[in-house]
Structure 1
Amino acid sequence: MDLTILYRGPLASCDYDCPYCPFAKRRDSTAALRADRAALDRFTAWVTAQTGDRLSVLFTPWGEGLVRSWYRRALVDLSRLPHVRRVAIQTNLSCRTDWLDGADAGTVALWCTYHPGQTPYDRFLAKCRDLAERGIRYSVGVVGLPGHLEQARRLRADLPGHVYLWVNAAEGHTYDDADAGAWTELDPLFPYSRRPHASAGLPCRTGESVVSVDGDGTVRRCHFVRTELGNLYDGSYRAALGPRPCPLAVCDCHIGYVHLETLPLYDVFAGGVLERIPSGHGGPAGLPREARATRSP
């Protein structure tokens, strides 16, 4: 079975204080961190044991995962498994990067977000360049708020040419054509993020070849549909996998609408769906080991 898993455990703490994020500067208790670590260790052990499947994993924590040793270890360990096509994580890149020396650079990838005002620009750029020197696939993005535009332009000019710079439309923000044009100059794919996508009744890969999993192993079709398909650890989810239309009116998050079959984004991001890298970008690490012959998310 080929399956893409979006994993989100109970971690909800972050070291940044972004005004547009509800988890800014939130602190998890010691007990919550222990629970998150145990849940991630259980998930990693499950992935390790699935040698008869071909898996791709994207970690989408509410908080910042890579400041926690157990997320760094999970990415390294999973990247070295022959049946894992890709393992990636969304991150603010505030962590160190030397841990990536232990990972398989052909399988691991980072989806990085730059948050102006939260970290010195030169520090963030230096980490990006370090990733490039290590041969790690990564994308970099910003939230498309007016105050971020000049910083985003600076970042685009300073990043290595092969690195894709994406722009997320800010939640609740309306873009007129002039505003949208400025962001599209930086990210030609910004029009996909500008407005929510009508999705009700439309075919979507989630629930068939893509699922979300929480820390207890509960499987859902995606992060945005609460209906349960079963549990990862007792295998009950497998019987529920199959094609199904989207039950929601709209889909407005990239990790959701990228899987809509009515959009061409699997072709646009061929080989880089999980780390948000369009085909033709990504640098020397190239496609994941299995996808060098057959392209995958």
Structure 2
Amino acid sequence: MTLPPTLTLLYRGPLASCDYDCPYCPFAKRRDTPEQLRADRAALDRFVGWVADQAEQSPGTRLSVLFTPWGEGLVRSWYRAAIVRLSHLPHVDRVAIQTNLSGRVEWLAECDRAAAALWTTFHPTQTPRERFLAKCRRLRELGVRFSVGIVGLPEHLDAARGLRADLPDDVYLWVNAAEGHSYTDDEAAHWQAVDPLFHHSRYPHASRGLPCRTGDTVVSVDGDGTVRRCHFLPTELGNLYDGSFAERLRPRPCPAASCDCHIGYVHLEPLDLYQVFRGGVLERIPAGWDRSGAT
């Protein structure tokens, strides 16, 4: 099996439970059974073992990992342990996870903070802003790279403005356009004032026929090891654990009409978002972020 010089793995195992109750999420307050949790832990352990093994099996390949669980991973000890272990592997450049930041953060002191990072989301109906901000302050004290985000629902605008005012200028606050919601130019301007990059999220990106890094240097992996180009395309490239996916990695255009999720369209080459987020693609931090000089 021959891997490219760099490979990013978007991992999503069977975990589908979350401790939050967000009305816009189908996994709100969902509980996995003990059997499902054991299966998720075993799948994650297998995946982490594969990543670790590539130091010998694929020497020279640099790996990066983004965990994108349907549920909240960091309330589970095995996700915390996985991030700690992966962060210390010399061939892993970055390990990041999407999280609501509801759990404790002290465990991050065990990570190599040059490699570990968080993509955090503030949910105004689920936790007080000050509690969330206290976690953010602690992350800064620990030296952890992180971004903060919010869903751009009209009822969240005041919370987003307050959060932006309370966060240090060097912490990027992103806004995701709410699924199924359209914005007038005036409404979009309010969100753009919070997140200068909101225009990338406002509309789905026409993607059919455009070159995309997915399926070449970026792939999606599920708990069984099935490899796809990305989370949004069903075609299988093969399996991680038998190596069958590797021979199918190559540059190719996107077959979908549009792409409306950051973890998908960030990899579309014509958007040039790798330059915008240089060094922080997985944790969604723009290069050299400073609010006063944002792109």
**TM-score in terms of structure 2 length:** 0.95
Query: What's the C-alpha RMSD, in Å, of the aligned pairs?
Result: 0.7
The alpha carbon displacement at 1:258 in A equals 0.2
State whether structure 2 residue 206 is matched by structure 1 residue 192: no
Measured against aligned partners, the alpha-carbon deviations of 1:36-57 in whole angstroms (never above 9, x if no partner) come to: 0000000000001111121000
State whether structure 2 residue 175 is matched by structure 1 residue 167: yes
Matched residue count: 282
Distance 2:168 2:45 in 1: 35
Give the 5 Å matches for 1:191-230.
Answer: 191-230=199-238
Corresponding residue for residue 35 of structure 2: 31
User: Secondary structure of the residue that 1:222 maps to in structure 2?
Assistant: coil
Distance 1:44 1:119 in 2: 31
State whether structure 2 residue 17 is matched by structure 1 residue 9: no
Measured against aligned partners, the alpha-carbon deviations of 1:187-246 in whole angstroms (never above 9, x if no partner) come to: 011001000000011100000000000000000000000000000001110000001110
Q: For 1:69, which of 66, 73, 77 is the aligned residue?
A: 77
Corresponding residue for residue 290 of structure 1: none
User: Secondary structure of the residue that 1:132 maps to in structure 2?
Assistant: helix
State whether structure 2 residue 52 is matched by structure 1 residue 44: no
Corresponding residue for residue 19 of structure 1: 23
Distance 1:185 1:141 in 2: 14
**TM-score in terms of structure 1 length:** 0.94
Corresponding residue for residue 136 of structure 1: 144
Contact 1:169 1:194 in 2 (8 A): yes
The alpha carbon displacement at 1:281 in A equals 2.7
State whether structure 2 residue 132 is matched by structure 1 residue 124: yes
Distance 1:265 1:117 in 2: 31
State whether structure 2 residue 255 is matched by structure 1 residue 251: no
The alpha carbon displacement at 1:160 in A equals 1.7
Corresponding residue for residue 270 of structure 1: 278
AA in 2 matched with 1:120: P
Measured against aligned partners, the alpha-carbon deviations of 1:51-96 in whole angstroms (never above 9, x if no partner) come to: 1121000000000000000000000000001000000000000010
Distance 1:157 1:135 in 2: 21
Measured against aligned partners, the alpha-carbon deviations of 1:271-293 in whole angstroms (never above 9, x if no partner) come to: 000000000039xxxxxxxxxxx
Corresponding residue for residue 294 of structure 1: none
Q: Stretches of 4+ moved more than 6 A in 1?
A: none
User: Secondary structure of the residue that 1:15 maps to in structure 2?
Assistant: coil
Contact 1:129 1:160 in 2 (8 A): no
AA in 1 matched with 2:248: A
Runs of 5+ consecutive residues of structure 2 not aligned to the other structure = 291-295
AA in 2 matched with 1:22: P
AA in 2 matched with 1:63: G
